[in-house]
Amino acid sequence: MSVERRQTIWEMLKEKGMLSLKELEEVFPNISSMTLRRDFQYFESIGEAIRVKGGIRYIRSMGGLQEDVYAMRLLMNKAAKDKVAQIAAEYIETGRSIFLDSGTTAMNLAYNLPDKHLSILTSSPHIALEVLKRHTPSVNLIGGTINRESFSVSGQQSLKFVENYNFDVAFMVPSAFSKENGFSIGNHSECELKRNIVQKSKKNIVMVDCSKFGKSMPFTFATLEQIHILITDAKPPEDMLETAKRYGILVRWE
């Protein structure tokens, strides 16, 4: 599917900064060069890349066009994110203090948030606004610097903000997971915040679609043994299930 292919291209582009047509032809041997060129045109059309000789280059900051990029991310792998969010919603209990991570998978959970007495803390302005659509939950937005790329708040101010905050449950979203490097993301400042949240929370629930398994990003915020529940959209690899069982981690998928 074009949406899944473009999600893969998007992740590669963010990680490498530049992609050539030749590289993508090797990754997608059954996709025509013309189709891959149209994918390049798509990322340029939304202001997230510029075409260069033989490929595209990633643009990290595009001002107002970033909202369009965020909307595109919400649509990427949407069916998988919906599955993960619906399972995760089962673990939201009345009266709990909850951290909702940033990212579009967490946004899908916010869409499924019940109108209960909850204390919500989030690093995502988008999620904070979504929670406000309910009448009952309270919501606090972490203070700090907003990352234009991820629409997430982080930085030194955010670390101070969570010092005296206690969480019953933290719903965390990684950009990648591998046995060697655990749950990782591409931004160091956001990684520091996520590490603090994981250490302070009584229960850590990681939400991740299976397309991110076997991949690594530069900064690790948690290892498998630090979490309590892993929620994904398809059955994980057997070696991952065996490791999770050894550490007493519940793995859920549909």
- Transcribe 207-237 into DSSP letters: E--GGGBT---SEEEE-GGG-SEEE-SSPPP
In the numeric block, the tokens 């998978």 are attached to 105
Return the half-sphere exposure (C-beta side, CA atoms, 13 A cut-off) of residue 177. Answer: 23
pLDDT digit string (tens) for 219-241? 999 999 999 999 999 999 999 99
Instruction: Please indicate, yes or no, whether residues 96 and 137 belong to a single structural domain of this protein.
Output: yes
- Report the share of the chain in percent with pLDDT over 70: 91
Instruction: Please indicate, yes or no, whether residues 50 and 141 belong to a single structural domain of this protein.
Output: no
Instruction: Please indicate, yes or no, whether residues 56 and 8 belong to a single structural domain of this protein.
Output: yes
- Report the share of the chain in percent with pLDDT over 90: 60
CB-CB neighbours of 234 under 10 Å: 12
Which of residues 13, 42, 75 is at a domain's end?
Answer: 75
Residue type, 7: Q
Find the helix packing angle between 78-88 and 104-111, rounded to 10°.
Answer: 60
pTM as predicted: 0.74
CATH for 13:
1.10.10.10
Which residues span the domain enclosing 238? 78-252
Q: How confident is the model at residue 3 (pLDDT cuts 50, 70, 90)?
A: confident
pLDDT digit string (tens) for 97-131? 999 999 889 999 999 999 999 999 999 999 999 99
**pLDDT for res 47:** 62
Instruction: Please indicate, yes or no, whether residues 70 and 90 belong to a single structural domain of this protein.
Output: no
Instruction: Please indicate, yes or no, whether residues 201 and 223 belong to a single structural domain of this protein.
Output: yes
Instruction: Please indicate, yes or no, whether residues 63 and 86 belong to a single structural domain of this protein.
Output: no
Strand 219-222 relative to strand 182-185: parallel, antiparallel, unpaired?
A: antiparallel
Instruction: Please indicate, yes or no, whether residues 109 and 130 belong to a single structural domain of this protein.
Output: yes
* Domain count across the chain: 2
Instruction: Please indicate, yes or no, whether residues 180 and 82 belong to a single structural domain of this protein.
Output: yes
Instruction: Please indicate, yes or no, whether residues 10 and 111 belong to a single structural domain of this protein.
Output: no
Which of residues 75, 97, 124 is at a domain's end?
Answer: 75
Instruction: Please indicate, yes or no, whether residues 99 and 166 belong to a single structural domain of this protein.
Output: yes
Instruction: Please indicate, yes or no, whether residues 186 and 231 belong to a single structural domain of this protein.
Output: yes
Which of residues 17, 49, 75 is at a domain's end?
Answer: 75
pLDDT digit string (tens) for 138-194? 999 999 998 877 789 999 999 999 998 989 999 999 989 998 999 999 889 999 999
Tokens of 139: 């919501």
Report CA Rg, the chain. 18
